[in-house]
Amino acid sequence: MPTLLDMQTAMRHALLNGSDSEFPRGLADTLVPADRLQIYCNTSRSTLTKALRLNFPAVERLVGEDFFAATADRFITREPPRTAWLDLYGESFPEFLQGFEPARTLAYLPDIARLERAVGRALHAGNPEPLEIARLSSIDACHQARIRFAPHPSVSLLSSPYPVDAIWRGVLAHDDDALAAIELGVGIVHLLIERVEDQVTVTRLSAAQWNFAEALFRGDALSVALEACGAPDATAWLAEHLVAGHFTGFELEAT
């Protein structure tokens, strides 16, 4: 019967050299198939839990490591990854938290997860060229109301009845004073999440600005977006979106 050191040495050699020729005799019979499978199960669970920890750091700090680990275990069972790219694992984690009874007392937790999911998407999104503003000049004035913009994949919107941006920043900064000063009943916050160079920024918008941006990013025609916000400053907001590179292209809505 090989010793533990024999097993560890043989395993290390096999992992580094891709060969099991150095395994001591009898090692293959030391672990039954169920035990071998359990090793892979444990490793898989550990890897997926770590991915969720990295993707939702504020959520973990809010609930604690043990609670997060137990929650992650339940989520992994229900929602295993469908791609090997674990940077985006947990796309449905906010919805899972929404219905997770043990987390019910933290009503803002699902929206914190939604914000972190948006931050993750912004960080890992592709980088297509933004729309060249000069291309819009080729559209006749009579057709401009039919323009539909294609949003940049790193840009997204989020609204919440809780100040989730302030909570998120305070938690990640370990700023207890900032967290203590937060009032949960301040009303709905409207957020724009985007990647600026290599950093992700989260900006608060007014309700009208958010309604306008939501309609544009949803692919509504410009006339619909203007009507959705009903604000005289909407054309200036559109210019800001264009200058910021929030769109990658456009098309005209069919008549």
- Is the predicted pLDDT of residue 184 greater than 80, yes or no? yes
Q: Phi then psi for 171, rounded to 5 degrees?
A: -65, -45
Asked if residue 100 is part of any domain, the answer here is no
Closest CA to 118 of 146, 153, 67, 149: 153
pLDDT band, residue 40 (cuts 50/70/90): low
C-alpha count within 13 angstroms, C-beta hemisphere, residue 60: 15
Residue of higher predicted confidence among 81 and 247: 247
Whether 164 contacts 112, CB under 8 Å: yes
Indicate whether 15 belongs to any domain. Answer: no
Cross-strand partners of 251: 148
Tell me the C-alpha to C-alpha distance, in Å, between residue 63 and each of 85, 117, 180: 26, 17, 17
User: Is there a domain that residue 175 lies in?
Assistant: yes
pLDDT average, residue stretch 40-56: 85
Confidence band (pLDDT; 50, 70, 90) for 38? low
Asked if residue 78 belongs to a domain, the reply is no
Question: For the residues 77-102, what does the mean pLDDT come to?
Answer: 91
Query: Which pLDDT belongs to residue 22?
Result: 52
pLDDT for res 119: 97
Residue 196: inside a domain, yes or no?
Answer: yes
> Residue 34 falls within a domain, yes or no?
no
Secondary structure letter of residue 55 according to DSSP: H
CB 217 within 8 A of CB 157: yes
Confidence (pLDDT) at 161:
97
Residue 243 has pLDDT above 90, yes or no: yes
Q: Looking at the 3D structure of the chain, how many domains does it have?
A: 1
Interval 224-237 mean pLDDT: 92
Residue 223 included in any domain: yes
Q: Residues of the chain with pLDDT > 70: what percent?
A: 86
Domain span including residue 149: 111-255
Average pLDDT over residues 197-202: 93
Asked if the structure places residue 62 within a domain, the reply is no
Please give the pLDDT value at position 254. 87
Mean pLDDT along residues 49-78: 95
Which pLDDT value is given to residue 85?
82
34 pLDDT above the threshold of 70 = no
- Give pLDDT, residue 255: 76
pLDDT of residue 59: 98
If you average pLDDT over every residue of the chain, what do you get? 88
Q: Distance (Å, rounded) from C-alpha 188 to C-alpha 161? A: 4
pLDDT tens per residue across span 96-142: 999 999 999 999 999 999 999 999 999 999 999 999 999 998 899 89
Q: What average pLDDT does the segment 156-167 reach? A: 98
Higher pLDDT, 16 or 77: 77
Of 11-15, 117-121, 191-195, the poorest mean pLDDT is in: 11-15
Residue 191: pLDDT over 80:
yes
